[in-house]
Amino acid sequence: MRDTLHSLELSGEVRWNGINQLLRENGSGISARVKHETSLGSEATANATGEIPEALINRELPLGSYPPSIQFSRAIFDFKADVYVLSIQPDLQIQPARHRHGGFLFHPDGLQQWEETDRQWLMREFASQPRTEPDAAMLALENLIGKLRTVSDAPILIYNVSSLVPGETIHCYAGLEDILSTRIKHFNLALIELSQRTGISIVDVDRIVAETGAAAMKIDTTHLTEQGCRAVAEEVVRILQDYGCIPEAATKA
Amino acid sequence: MSAFPSIEIIAQVDAAEQGGVKTGVEFLGGCLKAVRNGVQQPIKLAFADPAAEASKIPPARIFITSMQVELARPKRTREDIFEHWAGHLKELQKHSALVFLCTIFRNVSNQGASGDSIDVLARIRELNLIAVKLSHALGIKVIDIDRTMAHFGDRVLLSDFRMRSPRATDAFAHTVASAILAAGPDDLIDPMDQEKARKALGDIDSLPRLIRRREDARRQRAEANG
């Protein structure tokens, strides 16, 4: 999501400059300020208090893009945005651990780089969680949407995920109930039902990729090429035009 | 009399898909002939009425059907769709060594222009997931038309789920032939010949070359015919 709206950098080179590249090409004079934060998933975001739990304070861990300040951030509720853009990808792919006493969720990102003492601490303090199933994820997402709507009427857009897994050639699914492409299909369908219930807009990454072809649009299962980023950003602009967030005049070349 | 057993195939697919199945069978026959020094294996293809019940369909070694058949029907619940298809496919499995179910390309032209097309796309997604679940439950094979066509896209294949272009037909056909060979029909085709034929057919990355070759051939035929 960040790649499509903010920027895509490959091999140290900016290959796509985000939604503002489109707005500039349109000659509108309008620019978007994109504030991006990583997420552990809908349950964690919905329940974030803004305070880092005591168990994590003063614990130096190489958490990469998931520092405690972000993992427990309430920014999505506190920041007054014109548009909120979420994604089902964290619920699909991140499996946070749960603190045994405090009950809070925590993502041990970069675990392979952790010191052994920190790994031992993790195993003592946290219990691993099973993967989030689509129904539970949508319940958590609906809860998050409900909380967001108590503080803002701004449109909420949610990205689905392309279910095309490069290189997959399966022709019989007997015994393969849990593969990623099937899981993504479940989530994408469940998101349609969530949209029907709550009125959120879906940024249909899955359809957009299929329309032009995964060969041109995807780098790997979850990352899009420059062309893919542009196509998805164009869809976001189209949806925002429908909402009136971007005036019609802004789309004239 | 042929040195090889006759491969009997019945396809119960949407009218829009019949061309793809027919061409797929031609690809299969062509690859086998190529790896056997020009010796042909008889392949008989017949089409069954999409509305026909399984008990009314004659037995065949290979049976191919498609979720497009369901898409053409009035909408019903997922549970009803699964139950109907599970019963239908189980019946077919009694008479066919290999049962294949085709998915539907998840692209609908004029998406967003009308509520109908949005509804069709949602149904396609639903049906493609049910196809996977049927494969889990029954062990039937999936001919993943959706995966192949989504790899290249509407803009390259010049068609949405309705299979309206020769390129889409060729992509469909390649996927059918690949799936049959990948399913290991050992009692019909010698395993070594299956491997050689798969190499001759090529994988998904060879599809653009195949499509171009066939387009060039069609163009030359058209020019020759004036």
- The residue-averaged pLDDT of A48-57 equals 92
Chain A CB contacts of B183 under 8 Å are: 171-172
Count the Cβ atoms, other than its own, within 10 Å of residue A139.
Answer: 16
pLDDT interval class at A176 (50, 70, 90): confident
**Contact call for B149 and A210, based on CB within 8 A:** yes
**Alpha-carbon distance B175 to B66, whole Å?**
13
CA atoms of A87 and A97, how far apart (whole Å): 20
Is the CB of B111 less than 8 angstroms away from the CB of A207? yes
Confidence of residue B117 (pLDDT cuts 50, 70, 90): confident
Decide if B135 and A172 are in contact by the 8 Å CB cutoff. Answer: yes
Mean pLDDT over the full length of chain B: 94
For residue A252, pLDDT beyond 50: no
How high is the pLDDT of residue A248? 65
Closest partner residue to A172 among B133, B141, B153, by Cβ? B141
CA atoms of B136 and B125, how far apart (whole Å): 17
Residues A125-171 have pLDDT tens digits of 999 999 999 999 999 999 999 999 999 999 999 999 999 998 888 88
B 83-122 residues with CB < 8 A to A: 105-107, 111, 121-122
* C-beta of residue A100 within 8 angstroms of C-beta of residue A123: no
Predicted pLDDT at A253: 42
Give tens-digit pLDDT for A177-226: 779 999 999 999 999 999 999 999 999 999 999 999 999 999 998 899 99
> Which residue has 């069954």 as its token pair?
B48
Cβ neighbours of B203 in A, within 8 Å = 169
Point out the least confidently predicted range of A66-75, A84-93, A243-252, B24-33: A243-252
Q: Coil, helix or strand for A213?
A: coil
Residue B184 contacts A, CB cutoff 8 Å: no
Rounded average pLDDT over B84-98? 95
pLDDT band with cut points at 50, 70 and 90 for residue A251: very low
What does the pLDDT average to over B55-74? 95
C-alpha to C-alpha distance for B72 and A137, rounded to whole angstroms: 32
